Amino acid sequence: MKRRYLAAVMGLVLAIAPVNAYMVSAESAKTESSTEITEQALEEQEGQTPDGEQPPEKPDGEQMPDGEQPPEKPDGEQMPDGEQPPEKPDGEGMSGGEGGPGGQGGPGGMGQQGVDSYDAVNTYSEDAQISGETIESTGKDENAVHVTDGAKVELEDVTVSRTSTESTGGDSSSFYGVGAAILTTDGTAVIKNSKITTDAAGGAGVFAYGDGVAYVENCEIETQQDTSGGIHAAGGGTLYAWDVTAVTNGGSAAAIRSDRGGGIMVVDGGSYTSNGFGSPAVYCTADISINNAELTATGSEAVCIEGLNTLRLYDCNLSGNMTDDEQNDNTWTVIVYQSMSGDSEVGNGTFQMSGGKLTSGNGGIFYTTNTESTLTLENVEIEHADDSEFFLQCTGNNNARGWGKAGDNGADCLFTGISQTMQGDVIWDSISRLNFYMTEGSTLTGAVRQDDTWAGEGGDGCCNVVISEDSSWIVTGDSRVSDLYAAGTITDDTGAAVTIQGTDGTVYAEGDSAYTITVDSYSETADVSGAGTVDSWENHAAEQA
């Protein structure tokens, strides 16, 4: 028989920034369900960068070539005229989801004000151990298991089933975990050797919210409906996973999913597959580290990172297959952006990938717009789509989705390839700032092109390229670079030297190639101290419960 439990959670405030996640000691007991909470979420802050014309500092403050100060962040990070973040444009689809970038369901809007209570089949407010049981949930917007009041609940060899045709999903599910199979909001849930299935809107497999901590080990998770992530953290929750197999089939249902308020997720091993339209393998509005996992999106970009959040991948196989959409300026595999929806704090989005393989089924590889970002690749095997449009695009956008003000929504990107083989064009525009490093034997085969299609009336953006002595650029077309620091080699694909010529007509290097690189300045020395680095997995790995 379903029980109800009501407990006021005091002191929560509405905030737009990620909330710190806390490991909570657990003391609980099973009680009646329906936990009352007050409003939760966010404060928005704006990252700033100092003025200057040379390549920007790395996030840790190391200086760029010649020791100059970093340039200003491009305009467009501010919300237009100081107003609140705009509503999603028409056509964004489902709220509270990660499909927005791909056009298959937009991020949640600003209207959600929290939930008053949770309904659950089983609510635990004291420590408990459950083994070998089957727990079924069929109620509207109901949790099968809810851990609260600091409880530590261990579930082993359990089968959890959540099925409902009446559940609403949406923001209350995406932001707060309403309707998830297993939810922890203030306590610790340890789930081992178990099977979790959901067929209900908003039916995430395991959800960690607020002061909730979840450990998920050797489990199978499958969800069917929209806004139903496999493993999910929001509102500052913390989730650790080992050797999980998670499959999602709905829209806006990333296999590894986070949402408003962020949190911490650490994933070691396992397989994560999202099959829904607009469902990346990983949707990141949190601090997420993943090691030695299979990450597959069959109908979406592989990864979406929004705002001031970080995704680190170590020895993972990552693949995406985004569908072309005329509402998008292009098609990509990994996006780092700011939607202005309020679901993530404005600031630097970070993507690190070391080892493993990145596979693109359609479109270009990396796209960043309307945000600051730091992208670092180290010895990653990359498989391009046959119609690959670019390796990296760092530009503004047409604002069809409300991503900043058109003509004022460029990107500010620090990109670093470390022992990295790269193929495809690098595209930038005059309202963006790109600093592109090649270090430790990296190679780029492609052109660097300025394309002001999305730049409106233009600006003072730049693209600075820094090539270490042991790295090389194989040029495949006429290129435009602001400041070129080339200690390494520059040739075309026949091995012929490429002409390097200043915008004032100065010829810095005369080549036999048909291609020319036009620059504002040129140097045969390269200071790579400002290049990005990859954190060690050991700095983020967690011990099993």
pLDDT for 231 beyond 80: yes
Q: Residues 400, 327: contact at Cβ < 8 Å?
A: yes
- How far is the C-alpha of 87 from the C-alpha of 341, rounded, in Å? 7
> What does the DSSP 8-state code read for residue 433?
E
Note the pLDDT of residue 20.
Answer: 33
pLDDT for 40 beyond 60: no
Tens digits of residue pLDDT in 144-187: 999 999 999 999 999 999 999 999 999 999 999 999 999 999 99
Q: Residues 121, 142: contact at Cβ < 8 Å?
A: yes
Note the pLDDT of residue 210.
Answer: 96
Note the pLDDT of residue 110.
Answer: 31
- How far is the C-alpha of 363 from the C-alpha of 525, rounded, in Å? 34
Q: Residues 353, 318: contact at Cβ < 8 Å?
A: yes
**Local structure of 532: helix, strand or coil:** coil
Note the pLDDT of residue 134.
Answer: 98
- How far is the C-alpha of 190 from the C-alpha of 131, rounded, in Å? 12
Token pair 């929209």 is at which residue? 226
- How far is the C-alpha of 355 from the C-alpha of 366, rounded, in Å? 17
pLDDT for 59 beyond 70: no
Task: Give the pair of three-digit tokens for residue 161.
Answer: 């089933």
Note the pLDDT of residue 23.
Answer: 29
Note the pLDDT of residue 343.
Answer: 83
Across 301-314, average pLDDT: 98
Across 2-10, average pLDDT: 33
Note the pLDDT of residue 57.
Answer: 37
**In which band, very low, low, confident or very high, does the pLDDT at 406 lie, cut at 50, 70 and 90?**
very high
Tens digits of residue pLDDT in 437-456: 999 999 999 999 999 999 99
Cα Rg, the chain, nearest whole Å = 24
Note the pLDDT of residue 310.
Answer: 98
pLDDT for 371 beyond 80: yes
Note the pLDDT of residue 100.
Answer: 52
Across 45-63, average pLDDT: 36
Note the pLDDT of residue 60.
Answer: 38
Note the pLDDT of residue 95.
Answer: 39
pLDDT for 311 beyond 90: yes
Q: Residues 197, 172: contact at Cβ < 8 Å?
A: no
Note the pLDDT of residue 84.
Answer: 36
Least confident range from 39-43, 110-114, 375-379: namely: 39-43
Note the pLDDT of residue 113.
Answer: 57
Percent of the chain whose predicted confidence (pLDDT) is above 70? 79
Q: Residues 313, 290: contact at Cβ < 8 Å?
A: yes
283 φ/ψ angles, rounded to the nearest 5 degrees? -110, 115
Cα-Cα end-to-end distance for the chain: 31
Tens digits of residue pLDDT in 317-358: 999 999 999 999 999 999 999 998 888 899 999 999 999 999
**Local structure of 81: helix, strand or coil:** helix
pLDDT for 468 beyond 70: yes
**In which band, very low, low, confident or very high, does the pLDDT at 414 lie, cut at 50, 70 and 90?**
very high
Strands of the 381-383 sheet, one edge to the other: 134-137, 159-163, 195-199, 220-223, 245-248, 271-274, 294-297, 317-320, 357-360, 381-383
Note the pLDDT of residue 115.
Answer: 82
67 φ/ψ angles, rounded to the nearest 5 degrees? 70, 15
Note the pLDDT of residue 536.
Answer: 98
Note the pLDDT of residue 116.
Answer: 82
> Which distant-in-sequence residues (6+ apart) come within 8 Å of 45 by Cβ?
17, 345, 346, 347
- How far is the C-alpha of 94 from the C-alpha of 498, rounded, in Å? 49
Query: Where would I find the H helices in 126-182?
Result: 171-176
Q: Residues 191, 166: contact at Cβ < 8 Å?
A: no
One-letter identity of residue 97? G
Closest to 29 measured CA to CA, from 128, 146, 118, 122 = 128
pLDDT for 76 beyond 80: no
Least confident range from 56-60, 98-102, 121-125, 397-401: namely: 56-60
